[in-house]
Chains A and B, each alone.
Chain A
């Protein structure tokens, strides 16, 4: 069963918002990912989002595009990413892991075979960016059958009817895209997000995460007071890019940044 629901229940009891850092698997190389995952948890991550690299990441900004290029240069495949989750699970049985990526590598792997392998590896949720609920058959059903939550995006341009439909198809949590743009853009409007989340909460009892455009501790803290989870991607991948060639420093730098986010978010909730 997915670890997402129990984790969000635990956080709700503690009155905290989940910190969900994103890294692209295989960036800067395959051996870096599992140590990075553990470092993120140690620094205060509640849920991990692991990006599956794709050659054509249409919804991503330049930072995550470059991460995909680095990961693919080393030939990181979806099978490798599942291997990383399996290895991570040897010493961490509790932290939920959500895979985020695009549909084509999943289909190349084999949709059903992927859901079997992902469940076996210990994956808790799958967010396929270019798969809206209209096209979610058969993947969403196959994931649910294996106890994995299909996670979906909500956008500022999502209307009421689609909101309803997405919330009915989604499990684990829904992920509100805080801006009109690609990942890593820098035009976050917290007041607008707050207003939109009120609408989302009327449509679902699922926890609501917010991401795209969370640049720093300040914006993470602001969102922590309105959302159940704050997803930070490009800002972390930026640091992976900067320190990627110095392994020891990579883990401390990324860890320090995530700790900073954690402290700011917890302070905002008090």
Chain B
């Protein structure tokens, strides 16, 4: 345990009371945007602060989380996978069963309700794997917003099915051809749209990054994942889990799972995309291999070159293919509360197959990273212990990628 964490623990201060009023998580977070965006960001902060306390807003949100998203999602004991791993019992938090097939809808729904309160008529979003784009297009259809989704040209190729889903939902998908043509460039483009159309437009950021209040707000909208897991673990096992495992790209599903457990004696593991291995340079592991810098409105760990230019990243999973990470994760790493590690493309693919064959559940390649790590962790734990993996999304969208990787033409 790091010294900073010991200090925090000895004062019994909650780790859940972040960020501060300016959006800082320790040295990270903040609001690093051009002055043109400070007004809109401040208006959003005020509107969200109001809705956070507003009983009507919360009631409406809870109702749609139940009836539209399908919450609570189950906590499932993966018995055959546990048997295979010969160690701690492995539970899966089934975010793959959420409406649209991933946890992203929790946040998209929350922000859409907020946009409605702010009298905006147009939602914009960036997307990598397409899951957040689909979630945003879905809530736009649900509430009658116009919707534009920015997506890197390269990602559109990798995730053609999700592109078509968004179009079916009535969204316009704009290909982004600047930079590396992936998630980071889509985020730049969405910010540019927002600054030019701020009166009508609400920018639905898909992860726990961006200027304050986004990292806090997106975390809050996903915190239901951990809150449910707590209740479900207590009911299934009579106690809290020994460990939680989640994949980390921007880090929204991980924060969503971890947040309710930050003050408890539960080990937390965040799993980054190791791509072809850290030594190859082809990965997206900003916490494991990056350093502190400023991008997309916040200070956080970044993958960059010596001159401070943002590097292109690689992962088999488009949803993890991002050179930054949410500022709360950067802080949780520094204080030693969460252990961050990596899993390679190959290991993630193996886990994808293992879960599909052993449990009849096809995980998203993002979630397969968390699963691969849990399959290494469980055998090192005692059989009376149990851990929870956040199965953040389902794998249908990745079938093409898996097939291509195995040389199969569909």
Bound Cα distance from A154 to B34, whole angstroms: 9
A134 touches B35 (CB 8 A): no
Is B175 engaged at the interface, CB distance under 8 Å to the other chain?
A: no
Q: How far is the CB of A52 from chain B (nearest CB, A)?
A: 10
Chain A window 112-151, contacts with chain B (Cβ cutoff 8 Å), 1 for yes, 0 for no: 0000000000000000011110110000000000000000
Is A264 engaged at the interface, CB distance under 8 Å to the other chain?
A: no
Bound Cα distance from A180 to B294, whole angstroms: 23
Which A residues, 93 to 115, have Cβ-Cβ distances below 8 Å to chain B? 102-109
Q: How many residues of A contact B (CB 8 A)?
A: 43
B39 touches A157 (CB 8 A): yes
Q: How far is the CB of B305 from chain A (nearest CB, A)?
A: 8
In-complex Cβ contact of B31 among A56, A108, A132, A166 (8 A) = A132
Bound Cα distance from A155 to B38, whole angstroms: 9
Which A residues are in CB contact (< 8 Å) with B192?
Answer: 58-59, 61, 181-182
Q: How far is the CB of B313 from chain A (nearest CB, A)?
A: 12
Bound Cα distance from A199 to B62, whole angstroms: 45
Which B residues are in CB contact (< 8 Å) with A158?
Answer: 35, 38-39
B310 touches A55 (CB 8 A): yes
Given the known A-B contacts A77-B307, A180-B198, are A104 and B33 also in contact in the complex, defined by CB atoms under 8 Å?
Answer: no
In-complex Cβ contact of A56 among B30, B195, B295 (8 A) = B295
Which B residues, 30 to 57, have Cβ-Cβ distances below 8 Å to chain A? 30-36, 38-40
Chain A residue with Cβ nearest B185: A56
**The 4 nearest A-B residue pairs measured at CB:** A108-B308, A157-B39, A105-B308, A153-B35
In-complex Cβ contact of B38 among A62, A104, A109, A157 (8 A) = A157
Chain A window 149-179, contacts with chain B (Cβ cutoff 8 Å), 1 for yes, 0 for no: 0001111111100100010000000000100
In-complex Cβ contact of A107 among B39, B188, B199, B308 (8 A) = B308
Is B398 engaged at the interface, CB distance under 8 Å to the other chain?
A: no
Bound Cα distance from A130 to B32, whole angstroms: 5
B293 touches A58 (CB 8 A): no
Chain A window 167-211, contacts with chain B (Cβ cutoff 8 Å), 1 for yes, 0 for no: 000000000010011100100000000000000000000000000
- Footprint of B on A, CB under 8 Å? 54-59, 61-62, 65, 69, 72, 77-79, 102-109, 129-132, 134-135, 152-159, 162, 166, 177, 180-182, 185
Could you count the A-B residue pairs with CB atoms below 8 Å apart for me: how many are there? 118
Which A residues are in CB contact (< 8 Å) with B294?
Answer: 102-104, 107, 130
- Footprint of A on B, CB under 8 Å? 22, 30-36, 38-40, 178-179, 184-185, 188, 191-192, 195-199, 292-297, 302, 304, 306-310
A104 touches B293 (CB 8 A): yes
In-complex Cβ contact of A166 among B32, B35, B296 (8 A) = B35
B308 touches A131 (CB 8 A): no
A153 touches B178 (CB 8 A): no
Bound Cα distance from A135 to B292, whole angstroms: 15
Q: List 13 A-B contacts (CB under 8 A).
A: A54-B308, A56-B310, A58-B188, A78-B307, A104-B295, A104-B304, A104-B310, A108-B307, A135-B31, A157-B39, A159-B39, A177-B35, A180-B197
Q: How far is the CB of B223 from chain A (nearest CB, A)?
A: 26
Q: How far is the CB of A172 from chain B (nearest CB, A)?
A: 16
Q: How far is the CB of A188 from chain B (nearest CB, A)?
A: 13
Q: How far is the CB of B56 from chain A (nearest CB, A)?
A: 28
Which A residues are in CB contact (< 8 Å) with B197?
Answer: 180
B308 touches A130 (CB 8 A): no
In-complex Cβ contact of A180 among B32, B178, B185, B196 (8 A) = B196
Q: How far is the CB of A14 from chain B (nearest CB, A)?
A: 30
Chain A residue with Cβ nearest B43: A157
A132 touches B35 (CB 8 A): yes
Q: How far is the CB of B38 from chain A (nearest CB, A)?
A: 5
In-complex Cβ contact of B308 among A65, A106, A156, A159 (8 A) = A106
Q: How far is the CB of A133 from chain B (nearest CB, A)?
A: 9
Which A residues are in CB contact (< 8 Å) with B22?
Answer: 134
B36 touches A59 (CB 8 A): yes
Chain A residue with Cβ nearest B180: A55
Chain A residue with Cβ nearest B311: A55
Bound Cα distance from A77 to B197, whole angstroms: 33
Bound Cα distance from A56 to B179, whole angstroms: 8
Q: How far is the CB of A192 from chain B (nearest CB, A)?
A: 14
Bound Cα distance from A131 to B34, whole angstroms: 7
Given the known A-B contacts A55-B310, A182-B195, are A104 and B36 also in contact in the complex, defined by CB atoms under 8 Å?
Answer: no
* Highest count of chain A CB atoms <10 Å: which of B22, B32, B310: B32
Q: How far is the CB of B41 from chain A (nearest CB, A)?
A: 9
Bound Cα distance from A132 to B39, whole angstroms: 11
Which B residues are in CB contact (< 8 Å) with A181?
Answer: 36, 192, 195-196
B38 touches A132 (CB 8 A): yes
Which B residues are in CB contact (< 8 Å) with A57?
Answer: 188
Chain B residue with Cβ nearest A162: B38
A59 touches B34 (CB 8 A): yes
Which B residues are in CB contact (< 8 Å) with A79?
Answer: 307
Chain A residue with Cβ nearest B190: A58
Given the known A-B contacts A104-B294, A104-B310, A107-B294, are A180 and B35 also in contact in the complex, defined by CB atoms under 8 Å?
Answer: no
Bound Cα distance from A65 to B178, whole angstroms: 8
Which B residues are in CB contact (< 8 Å) with A108?
Answer: 293, 304, 306-308
Bound Cα distance from A250 to B11, whole angstroms: 65
Bound Cα distance from A130 to B30, whole angstroms: 11
Q: How far is the CB of B37 from chain A (nearest CB, A)?
A: 8
Given the known A-B contacts A104-B293, A182-B192, are A56 and B184 also in contact in the complex, defined by CB atoms under 8 Å?
Answer: yes
In-complex Cβ contact of B191 among A58, A65, A159 (8 A) = A58
B302 touches A104 (CB 8 A): yes
A177 touches B36 (CB 8 A): yes
A130 touches B195 (CB 8 A): no
Chain B residue with Cβ nearest A80: B307
Which A residues are in CB contact (< 8 Å) with B297?
Answer: 130
B307 touches A153 (CB 8 A): no
In-complex Cβ contact of B196 among A72, A105, A185 (8 A) = A185
Bound Cα distance from A62 to B34, whole angstroms: 17
Bound Cα distance from A108 to B32, whole angstroms: 16
Bound Cα distance from A162 to B38, whole angstroms: 9
Chain B residue with Cβ nearest A103: B294
Q: How far is the CB of A136 from chain B (nearest CB, A)?
A: 10
